[in-house]
Amino acid sequence: MEMDNKNSGHIAVVGIGPGMESMMTQQALQALDEADVIVGYTVYLDLLGDRFEGKEFLSTPMKQEAERCRMAFAEAAKGKSVAMVCSGDAGIYGMASLMFEIKEELGADAAIEIIPGITAASSGAAVLGAPLNHDFCVISLSDLLTPWELIEKRLRAAAEGDFAVAIYNPSSKKRHDYLQKACDILLETAEPERACGYVRSIGRDGEEYHTCSLAELRNTSVDMFTTVFIGNSQSRIIDGRLVTPRGYHL
């Protein structure tokens, strides 16, 4: 449907997964191969290495995401095929929603195609074991775009619903105590022994994973390259991995 519109420009918003080419889908690779212009935050572009040498690359610094989207539409309006690169999945804390909002703002004709990628909830879970193998929530602790009160409300709701939880953006220089604050909220409902874990540098050099209790997690420092996993009340550490059972009878 979207493809009929090719002559008024085509923009693929492409999730590239954690960073290794082997964790991209063939569909994502093909979208980048076919693009005239690749737009994206430079850190993600660097992950792609030499494969796309010779492409035209456009980027903006962090915090200029709306401008980056407008740039993509400007290129598409010239008749170019554009790929907008996102780490992980394009539609999970990625640029997909902003692209639709900017399309509306500009009244742009370009067709938007979203190409999904492996998000850190999936790739991190695979490293850690199977922490999200039942109903789960994904929550970002970044309060750059979201009031902290809403983040707190969601953490409380996640614990009350006995969801497994994947936590994105658990820390940054300005937010060094956010994971501790999040754990304190979860501990209002969840037991201190709750099985948890975290994965650093998923799919990249220096990848490492750790399991721990919720009480231990509260006193752990993690960096911004870490994804944190909180088990539900049935989760266990098996063979050093964090496992949330689906509920099968053995």
The number of CA neighbours under 13 Å toward the Cβ of 81 is 14
**Shorter beta-carbon distance to its own copies: residue 21 or 56:** 21
45 membership: H or E segment, kind and range: helix 42-47
**Shorter beta-carbon distance to its own copies: residue 213 or 234:** 234
Bridge partner residues of 140 (DSSP): 168
Find the shortest distance in angstroms from Cβ 9 to its own copies.
14
Q: How many CB atoms lie within 10 A of CB 83?
A: 26
The number of CA neighbours under 13 Å toward the Cβ of 198 is 23
N residues, the chain: 250
Find the shortest distance in angstroms from Cβ 138 to its own copies.
6
Find the shortest distance in angstroms from Cβ 33 to its own copies.
12
**Shorter beta-carbon distance to its own copies: residue 173 or 246:** 246
**Shorter beta-carbon distance to its own copies: residue 41 or 136:** 136
User: Which runs of consecutive H residues, i.e. helices, occur in 60-218?
Assistant: 65-77, 96-106, 120-128, 148-160, 178-186, 214-218
Find the shortest distance in angstroms from Cβ 199 to its own copies.
12
